[in-house]
A and B are shown apart, each in its own frame.
Chain A
Amino acid sequence: MLLNEYKLYMNICLYEQSFILSFVKCIGEKMKLNLNLKQDELKCEQCGSPINEGNAYTEEKNGKIHYFCCSHCAEKYFSKHGENI
Chain B
Amino acid sequence: MKLVIIGAGAAGFAAMIRSNQLGIRPVIINHGTVGGTCVNVGCVPSKFLLRRGEIIKYFKELGGKGKQSIIDAVKSKDFLVSSMRKEKYEDLLSYYDVDYVDGKAHFISPKAVKVNEKIIEGDRFIIATGSSPSIPEIPGLRESGFWTNVEALSPDRDIDSLIIVGGRAQALEFSEMYNRFGKEVAILQRSKVLIPDWEPEISLEIEKAFKEEGIYVGTGIEIKRVEKTNEGKKVYTNLGEVIADEILLATGRRPNVDLALENAGVSLNSRGGILVDQELRTTNPSIFAAGDVTGGPMLEALAGYEGSTAAQNAINNDGRKVDLTSVPQVIFTQPNLAKVGITEEEARKRGKTESRTLRMSDVAKAQILGEKKGLIKMVIDQTKKILGVHVMGENAAEFIGEAALVVKKGLTIEDIVDTIHVFPTVAESLRLVALSFYTDVKRLSCCV
B160 touches A27 (CB 8 A): yes
Please state if A34 and B231 are interface contacts (CB–CB under 8 Å): yes
Q: Is the CB of A53 within 8 A of B205?
A: yes
Partner of A36, one of B158, B200, B242: B242
Taking the closest CB of chain A, its distance from the CB of B204, in whole angstroms, is: 4
Find the A residue at minimum CB distance from B160.
A30
Could you tell me if B239 and A37 are in contact, using CB atoms closer than 8 angstroms? yes
A14 touches B375 (CB 8 A): no
The DSSP consensus for interface residues of chain B is mixed
Chain B nearest CB from A75 CB (Å) reads 12
Number of A-B residue pairs with CB-CB distance less than 8 Å in the complex they form:
105
Residues of A within 8 A of B151 (CB): none
Asked if B237 and A26 sit within 8 Å, CB to CB, the answer is no
- Asked if A72 is at the interface of the complex by the 8 Å CB criterion, the answer is no
User: Is A58 in contact with chain B by the CB < 8 A criterion?
Assistant: yes
Instruction: List the B side residues contacting A20 at CB < 8 Å.
Output: 240
Contact with A along B224-247 (1 / 0, CB 8 A): 000000011000010111111100
Tell me if A53 and B161 are in contact (CB < 8 A). Answer: no
On chain A, the number of residues with a Cβ less than 8 Å from chain B's Cβ atoms is 34
Contact status A31-B216, CB under 8 Å: no
| A73 beta carbon closer than 8 Å to chain B | no
* A33/B186 in contact, CB under 8 A: yes
Q: Decide if B201 touches A56 in the complex (CB within 8 Å).
A: yes
B185 / chain A contacts, CB cutoff of 8 Å? 33
Given contacts A37-B241, A52-B204, A53-B204, contact A32 B184 (CB under 8 A): yes
Contacts of A51 in B (CB 8 A): 200, 204
Minimum Cβ distance to chain B for residue A11 (Å): 6
Q: Distance (Å) between the CB of B391 and the closest chain A CB?
A: 13
Chain B residues, Cβ within 8 Å of A6: 184, 214
Given known contacts A11-B214, A56-B201, is B232 in contact with A34 (CB within 8 Å)? yes
B200 touches A33 (CB 8 A): no
* A41-58 CB contacts (< 8 Å) to partner B: 42, 51-54, 56-58
CA of A29 to CA of B322, assembled, Å: 52
B residues touching A (Cβ–Cβ < 8 Å)? 158-161, 163, 182, 184-186, 191-193, 196, 200-205, 208, 211-214, 216-221, 231-232, 237, 239-245, 345, 375
Q: A14-B211, A27-B160, A52-B204 are in contact. List 11 more A-B contacts (CB 8 A).
A: A3-B182, A7-B213, A10-B216, A14-B216, A32-B161, A37-B218, A37-B239, A37-B240, A40-B220, A40-B239, A65-B191
9 closest residue pairs by CB, A with B: A7-B214, A56-B200, A30-B160, A34-B243, A31-B232, A37-B240, A53-B204, A33-B184, A53-B205
